[in-house]
Amino acid sequence: MLRAGVLVAAMSVLFAACAMVSQPPPPGTRMVLVQVKNNADVPVELAVTVGSTVVPGAVQPSSLGPHELADITFYLPLGGDWWITTNGMQMFDARSVDEYVRQGCQMGMEVSTDGSGGIGCYSPR
């Protein structure tokens, strides 16, 4: 009986440790850290899409609650036509995002109460 308890405890620790490991970055991407503010009254789901296809694991974490501010890691494609989407709607295209990435500034994104958004450089909090 003691063995079963030890085994269950060990497996619980292993599962918890695996849950804390983040996904590996998608191939052919670069990491960009962005401070995102959700001013809306509803949560937002963030994604990176190429055409109509969502790039799996490209946004970590991919959800942001109402009125939350968080540092979000985006894994953005190295080239091509891609979008950052919020709740399935195209919000920021590759050109807009790349402009700020080239500037080397601290990037910030904001989702407004009406669901629109803005992107730019910000002063760290």
Least confident of 2-11, 56-65, 88-97: 2-11
pLDDT-derived band of residue 53, with 50, 70 and 90 as boundaries?
A: very high
pLDDT at 12 over 80: no
Q: Convert the pLDDT of each residue in 23-47 to its tens digit.
A: 778 889 999 999 999 999 999 999 9
pLDDT at 54 over 50: yes
CATH number of 26-121: 2.60.40
pLDDT-derived band of residue 125, with 50, 70 and 90 as boundaries?
A: low
> Domain spans of the chain?
26-121
pLDDT at 69 over 50: yes
Least confident of 8-17, 36-45, 67-76, 82-91: 8-17
> Distance (Å, rounded) from C-alpha 16 to C-alpha 13?
5
pLDDT at 110 over 70: yes
